[in-house]
Amino acid sequence: MIELPDLVAGGLAAGTLSALALGGGVLRLRRQQTRQRAEIAALRTRLDGSLRAFTAEVEHLAAQRVPAAARHVAHPHLAVPGPLQPLTVGTPLGIALENVLLALQSEVAAQRTRVDAAAQAGMRGAVREIQAALYRLQDALRGLQQRYDDPELAQTLFRLDHENEQSLRRAQVAAVVCGAWVGLAREESHLVDAVTGGQARLAGYQRVRVHNHLEAGTALVSHAVEPVAIIVAELLDNALRHSSPDTDVVVSLEHVHHGVCVTVDDAGLGMTRDERDRAQRLVAGDDLILLTDLGDPPRMGLAAIGRLTRQFDLGVDVSSASPYGGVRAVLRVHSHLLSHLDPADRPPAASAPRTTRRAVPDRPAPAHAYGTEAGVPEAPPGHHEPEDAEGLPQRRRRTRTAAAPPPTPTRRPARRPEEAAASLGALQSGTAAARAQNAAGNTAADDIDPTDNEGGTDR
């Protein structure tokens, strides 16, 4: 039989052990709670840091990256800043932020195109009305020229007609840039007539020297006549504007392997590499043309060339310098755009320069601007050798010099007003035949087909 003191001792021992076990559990629980509190505090600190970093990243996106991405749409040379934390790149957050910028740029580009298309449509309508009014004025001036034969009045009418022709050219260029068609197709025409027709639309046309080395009868198909005249006029306008008024602009018409080249050389200041690259992109016609990209006020000449080269399969290159120190612009007319007219049945205009190409088929053509002989330096573009008694050009041997001087543009003396007026009258009368060919497309507003005006392609 167990005695009472033993039971008490056993109970006390058991209670002590239980208390010790319970105290150890409580201590472990408290330590665990302390660790959990520390982990929670660390997680909260990390969460707060991530939240602050995310907030800063979003604020950087809104304040810096989004405006830069929007500007990049219009000005691709501007850089778009990256995220604040480089480690964000490639993470889900970084990818999401990049997708935001891409979606923004896509929408901005679409809205710019839509707004510019609306602006171009409005300008097309306004230019169409201006063209119709200028055509009516041209018809009125032409009627006055035929009615009165007073020399002084005729000179005044010729000057007014020439001013009207320049206004028509500017309106036509604006219409082409805005996607309008160039007009109704003209008849097949001599290529040299298209070149001189473009020359006649310019102020300062007297400074242009055209050297025709084409085979007699070289012509353009009907739908290429007006585009070639517009392109030549714009190339000549750039050359005249950016060169000294006492220098000439030299135009050479040459046969090449796949067609004909019209080369325009000026003696201006030239262009920087960036300007030349931008001009080449415009005349190539591969990029989308927006009015907002053409400056204020818009410079539409090169943009119009770009639309026409793409639309009519022509080629223009302005990437090389002229031997005269300025810019060389080359218009390439491919063979499928060329035709042939019998010069006896349909001769070129009286003001068009006669070809220097010999008609004798079994003798080699004379060496001209691009031909050389041993010991004979190259002649400048448009240079002609003297003719012998039979009318055939002959080469003159020159003594070899230590260094041939670079070609220099011809400096012309000032023209008297009487001479300028007489020259203008001769040019206007010489281009009258070309105008008659285009009478269907250049009469009153009723002759302008609105569907044709919408026929341009947007690039």
If we measure between CA atoms, which residue out of 437, 452, 454, 457 comes closest to residue 229?
Answer: 437
- Please report which confidence band the pLDDT of residue 250 belongs to, taking 50, 70 and 90 as the band edges: very high
> In the prediction, which pLDDT does 428 show?
53
> Using CA atoms, how far apart are residues 266 and 254, in angstroms rounded to an integer?
17
- Please report which confidence band the pLDDT of residue 451 belongs to, taking 50, 70 and 90 as the band edges: very low
Report residue 344: phi and psi, to 5°: -75, -40
Q: Between 417-430 and 151-177, two packed helices, what is the crossing angle to 10 degrees? A: 60
Kindly report the CA angle at 427 between 426 and 428, in degrees rounded to 5? Answer: 95
Residues 207, 217 contacting (CB under 8 angstroms): no
Is 120 domain-assigned? yes
- Please report which confidence band the pLDDT of residue 182 belongs to, taking 50, 70 and 90 as the band edges: confident
The predicted model gives 161-179 an average pLDDT of 90
The predicted model gives 115-134 an average pLDDT of 90
> In the prediction, which pLDDT does 352 show?
83
Two structure tokens written together for 109: 């580009």
Q: Is 451 helix (H, G, I), strand (E, B) or coil?
A: helix
| Beta-bridge partner residues of 230 | none
Residue listed under structure tokens 């070809």: 355
- Cβ neighbours of residue 356 under 8 Å, at least 6 residues apart? 211, 212, 213, 366, 368, 384, 393
Characterize the bridge pairing of strands 315-321 and 327-334.
antiparallel
Residues 344, 365 contacting (CB under 8 angstroms): no
> Using CA atoms, how far apart are residues 158 and 141, in angstroms rounded to an integer?
8
> In the prediction, which pLDDT does 259 show?
92
Give the global pTM. 0.65
Q: One-letter amino acid identity for 257?
A: H
What range defines the domain where residue 221 resides?
Answer: 110-360+410-453
Residues making up the chain, counted from first to last: 459
Is 344 domain-assigned? yes
The string of pLDDT tens digits covering residues 364-383 is 443 333 333 333 333 333 33
Two structure tokens written together for 71: 């500007």
pLDDT higher than 50, residue 221: yes
Mean pLDDT of all residues belonging to the chain: 77
Lowest mean pLDDT among 110-124, 173-187, 331-345, 415-429: 415-429
Residues 161, 154 contacting (CB under 8 angstroms): no
Is 60 domain-assigned? no
CA distance readout (Å), 210 to 347, 351, 381, 450: 17, 11, 10, 36
Burial class (CB in 10 A: 0-12, 13-18, 19+), 307: buried
**Number of domains present in the structure of the chain:** 1
CA distance readout (Å), 204 to 237, 238, 247, 318: 9, 12, 11, 21
> Using CA atoms, how far apart are residues 182 and 201, in angstroms rounded to an integer?
15
- Please report which confidence band the pLDDT of residue 294 belongs to, taking 50, 70 and 90 as the band edges: confident
- Please report which confidence band the pLDDT of residue 437 belongs to, taking 50, 70 and 90 as the band edges: very low
Residues 260, 333 contacting (CB under 8 angstroms): yes
- Please report which confidence band the pLDDT of residue 414 belongs to, taking 50, 70 and 90 as the band edges: very low
Euclidean distance between the first and final Cα of the chain, in Å? 114
Is 37 domain-assigned? no
Domain holding 254: CATH number? 3.30.565.10
| Beta-bridge partner residues of 212 | 253
Residues 333, 314 contacting (CB under 8 angstroms): yes
- Please report which confidence band the pLDDT of residue 445 belongs to, taking 50, 70 and 90 as the band edges: very low
Is 336 domain-assigned? yes
